Structure formats: C-alpha cells, structure tokens
Structure 1
Amino acid sequence: MARACGLGLLLLLLPPPALGASMPGTVVRLQKAALRHVSEIGKAPLQRALQVTIPYFLSHSGEVLQPTRIQILNVHVPHLHLGFIADLGVRLLAAANFTLKVFRGAEPLGLTLPVGLLADARVARASIGTPVVSISSCYAFFGNSSTFQGAKSASPAWLVLLQKHIKAVLRNKLCLSVSNLVQGLNVHLGTLIGLNPVGPESQIRYSMVNAPRITDDGISLDINAVLFLLGKPIVLPVNATLFVLPQHVGTQGAMVTIGLSQDLFDSAFLLLHKAGTLNLDITGQLQSDTNPLNTSALGQLIPEVARQFPEPMPVVLKVRLGASPVATLRTSNATLRLQPFVEVLAAASNSACQSLFSLDVVVNLSLQLSVSKVKLQGTTSVLGDIQLTVASSNVGFIDTDQVHVLMDTVFEQPLLDHLNALLGIGIALPNLVNLHYGTPEVFVHEGYVVVSSGLLYQS
C-alpha cells in the first residue's frame, strides 16, 4: 500500500464504475501543483521499488566460472519530476544513485552508479468505468560508475565486465519495477470502488463516464454521481444536464479543483427528502422558559385552545416536508428553500393527541458550504421572516401574526438544529483511502460549486 500511495495521489480522484441511473455532473481537475507535491512524497516509494535483486556475476577464473555476489546497499532518489503529457498521461523523470557491494575475495568492492529513468504512464478508462494506468514506455540511462572500496584488488578488464553485467540487469529490472509500482497504483485506485455512506440507509457512488481529458497543464475527469436510498438509485424528475466546468475557476495554484453541479445538490436534497430525515417532531414542555410550547401559551393567542384545555398540556409540532428542498446557487450565494407542513397537536387527558390546527410554512435559508477531510458539509441560517399560512383549524380563527411570534421561538431553532445536524454529516467527495483534502476553499457560482484544495495523505 505504501508504494502505491505516493504515485497514487496522481489520480486520487478517479472514481469507480458507472451506473445507469441519474447522472449529476461532477468535474475533477488535477493540476500541476499536485504533481509537484507527489514528486516530493513519491521519492520514498520509488526508492523502495528500485531496490531490486541482482543475480550473481559469473566470470572465468582459468577454466572455472567464478560466481560473485552483488548487493544493492542503498538507492537514493535526489530528483523526481512528474509532468503531464497532453492526450497521454504523466511523464516520470528521475535521477537515482545506487550504492552496491560486490563480495569478491577478502576485501569487498564498493561501487556507486548514477542512473536516470524516463517513463511515460498512460491514463485511461477501463471498460467497466474504473481508471487504469499503464507504462507505455520506459528507459534507463547510466552514468559513469565509481569505486570507493577495494578497487585495487580488481583488474580493469574484470571491472568493465562487472559493470556491464550490473547495467544489463538494471536496464531490465528497473523499468519492470516502475511498471509493478504502477500496477500497485491500480490496485490502490480500486479502493474507490464501492459505496460511500451518506446516511444510515443511503450511499453515493462516483464513476468515470469517458476517457480523461489531458493537457500539458492537467487532467480533467467527467464524473457521474449516483445516490442510493435502500439500494435504489435516486433519479431526478428531469434528465440531468451535461455539466462543463469553466477554465480558471477556484484558487490559482491549487492541487485539485472539483466542480459540483446543481444536479448533484438537487439529487442530494431529493435523497434526504425521500428518506424522511428532514421531518421532525418538536415537543413542548410544561415547565420551561425557553420552550413555551403548551396549551397555556397557545391559549393566550387562541381563545378556543384555552377553552378546550383548561389544564396545561404539552403541544407537539409535527413537521413534514411535502416537497423536496430547493437549493439555489448564485454567485457567492447559496440558498435553500423549505416548504414544510406543520401540524399542531395537543396531548389530551387520555394520552391521545388532538389536532389543533395546521400550517403551510415557507422557510428561506442561507446555505454555507465547507469541506472537512473528504466530505462536503453545510450549515444554514434563516433568511428573513418565516412565512405562515393556516391550512386547517379545529380551534376557530387563528391570527397568524400572533402565532408567528410563537413559531419564531419554538420552531425556528429546533428546525435549524435538526437541519444543520444532517448537513453536518456531509456527503463524500471522490477520494482514495487515507487521502484527505487539505486547506480546502469553497466557491459558489451560478449553477455550480467549486472546491479548490490541497491533498493530505494520512496512513
């Protein structure tokens, strides 16, 4: 796993297989800053991958073949550069210094050998919708070796043959090691396959929909997001539209830029609505200065309530959403509109509940978005006044202006607490195991949201 993680950050946001359901649009754009970061953290796994085994060197000693054991003591990669190749993938250029020990006679021979590596990795989409990376070409270049121990005991001719042996072995094995490292990366990318939980009974799955678009400046991936409730995909009432992320959005110099379309937000809130998690019951208490939700408080506003309930009884607000919340994305401004139906019930003396009246409510909320580790989260606050309309009444005439004051006290804060707890759970963005977003920034644009972020790997 450790080997794959270094270069695995190159394609950290490639998603798992596609599903034929609703297709909210997401675009992930990996940029040059990510390659610079990986160039640093990728040195250690590359060094380990290059620590290959060299077979015995056979040389003639008279008419007898003399085997000589060779061991690589250390591989140091002082330089690793990764760059994008338009329409192909990523180019790796590395410089490595090999320290070798040759066990010959009483005094071992110490050698240092500088090696250069040039490899091109093709990034493509597999038929099942998963990412696949492969080495399309690889070359090893050798500098002049030098001895630092035991050189006097070896003849120049023997040293020439020894170095030819070492270089021939490394020329084959080093590129194979790089290829194996990439294969390990593909295994690591497989951790993207599967469902990420959104709630107890809901999940989200991402998938590549076509081949990545690769330029000299970055890789862009078109991604579908499918949300599931009880194993069934959430399908928008209308077909999702193709989402195109404009160039030059987000933070300049960010490692990764993610574009999240309006359709993704519509699907997420439709899922919450269908799951019923936005519904809540607000229960009053008889002895509370902060929760005057009882028949005594209502009786001061509605005389018929006081007549029917001479003794104080708790009141319950059953809040149910008849329609999915509507999220609106405008430049630097995200809002959420809720239209709950609120039934007001009082506990009767026989422990049954009696319906007093019901309200159609409209609540406009400001939606603030943030990213924590790999999840997009939200918090809300009320914009303006809550709008109330009496839907039905079993207690005669109701003055909505007076009820409005009570609703501001007993309805608004419990609704916000409930909604913010749900949105605080968050929805997973495309990610790899143990990979988190670092210092993310969120920008709201007309019809879409952009996340610009660095990357952090935590083992």
Structure 2
Amino acid sequence: MARACGLGLLLALLLPMVSASMPGTVVRLNKAVLSSVSEIGKAPLQRALQVTVPYFLDQSGEGLQPTRIQILNVRVSRLDLKFIADLGVHLLAAANFTFKVFRIPEPLELRLPVVLQADARVAQGSIGTPVVSISTCFSLFDNAIAFDGSNSSTPALLVPLQQHINAVLRNKLCLSVSSLVQGLNVHLGTLIGLTPVGPESQIRYSMVSVPSITDDYISLGLNAVLFLLGKPIVLPVDVTPFTLPQHVGIDGAMATVGLSQDLFDSALLLLQKAGALNLDITGQLNSDDNPLNTSVLGRLIPEVARQFPQPMPVVLKVRLGAKPVATLRANNATLQLQPVVEVLAPTSNSAFQSLFSLDVVVNLSLQLSVSKVKLQGTTSVLGAIQLSVASSNVGFIDTDQLHALMGTVFEKPLLDHLNALLGMGIALPNVVNLHYITPEVFVYEGYVVISSGLFYQR
C-alpha cells in the first residue's frame, strides 16, 4: 500500500485555495511537485505493470501448442504528470516490457514498447478524505522486437503473438493502475487521523469541500478540529471563511500551506482550557538565581518583612484566566498573555497564605518554524511586563518597585515553560511518511503561509 504512494505523492497532501470552515486551513500543491513525484512514482508503477500473461495458442506448427509467456522485466523510462483543470491529474508513461516466450525448441525473448495514458479524478470522500479514481485509461503498443534483433526467424509467430499480448495488456494494465490508485486511497485516508498535540489533546484535519483544480495546482479546503479529552474546541464567536490568495509565499514551491487566524485562536484556547499555560514558580532560599523569598520581598513591601522576620521561600502561582491573544500582522506575529499571579508564602503549619495577587500583561514576539510535519514556536518578551495589584493582604504595594524583581523571577520561568509547550508543535496537514522539507514561514495580515518542499520517506 505504501508503495502506491510514489505514484500518488502528488495527491497525498492536497492543498486548497477554496473557502474553508472553522478553523480554516488551506493547502496547495503547485507544478513544482510534479517532476519529483514522477521520479518517485516509476518504481511502484513498474511493479504494478508486472502482470500475468495467459498461455498463447501457437498455431505455427502442427496443431495448437499452448505456449507460456512471462514478463521478465518492466522498465518505465518516462512518467509525466500534469494537472487537468476541474478533474485531477493526467498520467503519461512510456514503458518497455521484456517477455520470455517458452517456445519449443528454443524460447524467444521480445521487447514491447508501450505508452500508457490515464486520467485520475480527485474528489471528496464521504469521510472527509481525498478519493482518487481512474476516469479514462488506454494503452498504445509499438511493434514487438525479437531480443536478438532479428524478426525474420519467426515471422509467422510475431504477429499473432503480439496480438495476443496486446489484447491481454490492454485491459490488465489499466486494471493495475486502478488497483494502484485504490491502494493510494487507503494511504490518503491517514490525512484524517487524530494526531496528538499534548497528553490529552489531538488535532484532526478533514476536507470540507470538493477539490479546486486548475492547470497550475490542485487544492483542498481543510477543517482543523482540536480536541481536549475527546471534546472539540469551539471558538466562542463565529469565524470568517478563510481563502488563500494566489501569490503568497515562494514562487515555485512544491507546497503552499495557509493557516488562518482561527487555527491559532483555537490552539491557544485549547492550551488555556487544558491548563497547560499555568505554572508554579517556587523560590529557593540562599539562591542568587532565584531571589524569590520573603527577605527580598520585605525590602520592597514593609508588611512582608514584619510578618516574616525569618526568610521563607515564596511561590508564584501563575494562572491564565483570559484567553491568550495571537495577532498576525505583515511579517510580525505576537502573543499576549494576561495571567493572574498570586504570591504565596508558607506559614508555620506548612500551609500557604496569599500575600497579594497581580494582574499581569505580557506581550511576546512569536517566531514560527516547521520541523517535519509540525508547526513550532518560540517567544521572547516585547517591552516591559505590565503589573497592577488585584488584591493585597500586605497593605500598599508599589508596583514600580516590583518590576525589576518580577523581571528576574517571573519572566525567564514563564518563557521557558511557554517555549517548551510551543516547541512540542502542532501537526500540519499530512499523510503517513510525508514530510515538509526546507520550509519557510511567512506572516501576513490574519494568516500564516508555509512554503515548502515535500519528502516521501519510503
């Protein structure tokens, strides 16, 4: 089945330019992919064309002699693919068949050049996968040539022998191509499988419309649904249908993938609902790297020094109440977090008491990259962290004095945690064994584009 993918790699990551439903993902395969697919497709096509030829009834001697014929070798010397607007893909293959005719007293070897042409229709399957079928197929046969280059030794045999072979191959070759395509459809079905995002979350892509096909590309509209504990993540507002402009990314790239703002919003909502963005930052006594203790706080807040004459470690409980906001502008992606940070210290009975809590606004620069089939991200802080007091059990707090401390004890743990999450990545549309190679990521107003090559790992 996987071998069938060489012929169908062209169709294995069909990427669209039509409107997609929420959240919208658009992918387009361009002409540049065709030559690569043609080379990969030769080997599986050669194997598929290695069919069985029934016995030939030889009438050149006395009576009818059943003669066995075997295909020794099939060599596909040429495989060309091109897009057919509103249909799918046209295939043209040139192959040389080598036959061994077990004729008595001496066997005969023949070479038969064949040209095979077929049109493959690409449609939308009932379960949201691409479905490929052969709509037309035919073969053109040249004259068979005896392997020793001499046809004069068997002139009476060659004509009926070739007629027999042609009649058999005319049907069997097209049936073999159809069978190859059916195996490809099973492989294409892996597009809709659930792919893990985190321990309790997954993403699933599926087609939402019929393919859009022109002479220059083939495309699909995909719906990306994120799941948390088996339940879909649904954005709280209606989303706008996403379309991918014609000229974005890199001209000549094999694949162009468009990811809408809604996909990013859905992914961030999943992280919030899963609690993945929450963290606890624990201070250590006698630590120059993390001066998060009551002694340091007491220098800034007198009431803390009064309540804790002896240094005690402090814990920051970072909880994200508001949904993170991703903003996509031309060549610029940013992320805003608005966590509530509660500052706690241990009491004598080993419980923790709340000293105060802060409303925090953190603006982050978001850098995106692709590894194999995953979109990954890293962040860095933009500007100063904004602080305001939400509640206090230690009297007045001067937030200006807290800024330097928060930058030391809060910023780095937050970035480490966030970058570890974003580094896990989220799967892009793909089928088994197909990877993105040399990808480049572009940020546009309201969407992201990935221009990439494709690599099929056999």
Query: Structure 1-normalised TM-score?
Result: 0.96
Q: Is the 8 A contact 1:109 1:149 kept in 2?
A: no
Q: What residue in structure 1 maps to residue 281 of structure 2?
A: 282
Distance 1:217 1:82 in 2: 12
* Residue aligning to 1:34: 33
Matched, 1:112 2:111: yes
Asked whether 1:13 is paired with 2:13, we answer yes
Task: Give the Å deviation of 1:8.
Answer: 2.8
2:88 and 2:119 in contact (8 A); partners too:
yes
Gaps of 5+ in 1: 16-20
In the alignment, the residues of structure 1 paired with residue 154 and residue 357 of structure 2 have an alpha-carbon distance, to the nearest angstrom, of 101
In the other structure, the counterpart of 2:186 is 187
- Deviation of 1:150 (Å): 9.3
- Give 1:64 shift: 3.1
Question: Residue 42 of structure 1 aligns to a residue in which SS?
Answer: helix
Deviations 1:356-394 (A, max 9, x none): 111000000000001101011100000000000011111
2:317 & 2:36 partners in 1: Cα distance? 52
Aligned to 2:4: 4
The structural deviation recorded for 1:78 is 1.1
Give the alignment of 1:343-354 within 5 angstroms. Answer: 343-354=342-353
Moved more, 21-30 or 386-395: 21-30
Q: Distance in 1 between matches of 2:21 and 2:454?
A: 29
Aligned residue for 1:18? none
* Alpha-carbon distance between aligned partners in 2 of 1:62 and 1:207, rounded to the nearest angstrom: 62
User: Structure 1 residues 190-199 or 87-96, which shifts more?
Assistant: 190-199
Q: Which residue of 2 aligns with 1:449?
A: 448
Q: What is residue 50 of structure 1 aligned with on the other side?
A: 49
For the 8 Å contact 2:191–2:206, the answer to whether it is kept is no
Q: Residue 3 of structure 2 aligns to which amino acid in structure 1?
A: R
CA contact (8 A) 1:25 1:264 kept: yes
- Give deviations 1:87-119, integer Å, cap 9, x for gaps: 000000110011111111232111111100110
Aligned to 1:360: 359
- Kept after mapping to 2: 8 A contact 1:109/1:151: no
3-state SS in 1 of match to 2:73: strand
Residue matched to 1:90: 89
1:60 to partner: Cα distance: 2.8
Equivalent residue, structure 2, for 1:164: 163
Q: Structure 1's 152 and 12: CA in aligned 2 closer, same or farther, altered over 3 A?
A: closer
Specify whether residues 249 and 133 from structure 1 end up closer, same or farther in structure 2 by C-alpha distance, changes over 3 A only: same
After superposition, the CA RMSD in angstroms is 1.6
What residue in structure 2 maps to residue 308 of structure 1? 307
Deviations 1:206-261 (A, max 9, x none): 11111111000001211111111111111111112100100011111111101100
C-alpha distance in 2, partners of 1:204/1:128? Answer: 16
- Counterpart check, 1:405 vs 2:401: no
Distance apart, 1:399 and its partner CA: 1.3
Given residue 319 of structure 1, which amino acid in structure 2 is its aligned partner?
V
Between 418-427 and 345-354, report the one with greater CA deviation: 345-354
Structure 1 position 131, deviation (Å): 1.3
Shift of 1:348: 1.5
Q: 1:95–1:62: structure 2 CA closer, same or farther, 3 Å change rule?
A: closer
CA distance in 2, matches of 1:181, 1:139: 16
Distance 2:358 2:122 in 1: 56
Aligned pairs for 1:299-448 within 5 A? 299-448=298-447
Q: What CA deviation, in whole Å up to 9, does each residue of 1:276-299 have, x standing for no partner?
A: 100000000002111000111111
Answer yes or no: is the 8 Å Cα contact 1:2–1:45 preserved in 2: no
Deviates more, 1:414-423 or 1:188-197: 188-197
**How many residue pairs get matched?**
454
- Can you list the C-alpha shifts for 1:302-361, whole angstroms capped at 9, x where unaligned? 111111111111100000011110000000000000000000001122111011111000
Work out whether residues 292 and 410 of structure 1, in 8 Å CA contact, stay in contact via their aligned partners in 2. yes
Unaligned segments of structure 2, at least 5 residues: none
How far apart are 1:152 and its partner, in Å? Answer: 7.3
2:128–2:192 Cα contact (<8 Å) kept: no
Contact 1:70 1:101 in 2 (8 A): yes
SS of 2:395's equivalent? coil
- The residue that corresponds to 1:145 in the other structure is 144
Offset from partner CA, 1:102-143 (integer Å, 9 cap, x none)? 111232111111100110000001233221100000010011
Residue 123 of structure 1 corresponds to 122
Preserved contact between residue 53 and residue 72 of structure 1 (Cα < 8 Å): yes
Q: Give 1:155 deviation, angstroms.
A: 3.2
TM superposition shift of 1:3: 2.5
- Between the aligned partners of 2:151 and 2:395, the Cα distance in structure 1 is 111
Mark the CA change 1:257 to 1:297 in structure 2 (over 3 Å): closer, same or farther: same
Q: Is the Cα–Cα contact under 8 Å of residues 110 and 150 in structure 1 kept in the other structure?
A: no
Residue 14 of structure 1, CA deviation: 4.6
2:378 and 2:311 mapped to 1: Cα distance? 36
Distance verdict in 2 for CA 1:425–1:196, change over 3 Å: same
Question: What SS class does the counterpart of residue 448 from structure 2 fall into?
Answer: strand
Distance 1:54 1:248, change over 3 A: same
User: Does the 8 Å CA contact 1:3/1:49 hold for their aligned counterparts?
Assistant: no
For residues 377-426 of structure 1, the C-alpha deviation after alignment (integer angstroms, 9 at most, x for no partner) is 10000000000001111111111111111000000000000000000111
Give the match for residue 242 of structure 2.
Answer: 243
Structure 2: distance between partners of 1:298 and 1:305: 7
Q: Is the 8 A contact 1:109 1:150 kept in 2?
A: no
2: CA distance between counterparts of 1:439 and 1:65? 62
Distance 1:184 1:315, change over 3 A: same
The amino acid that maps onto 1:433 is V
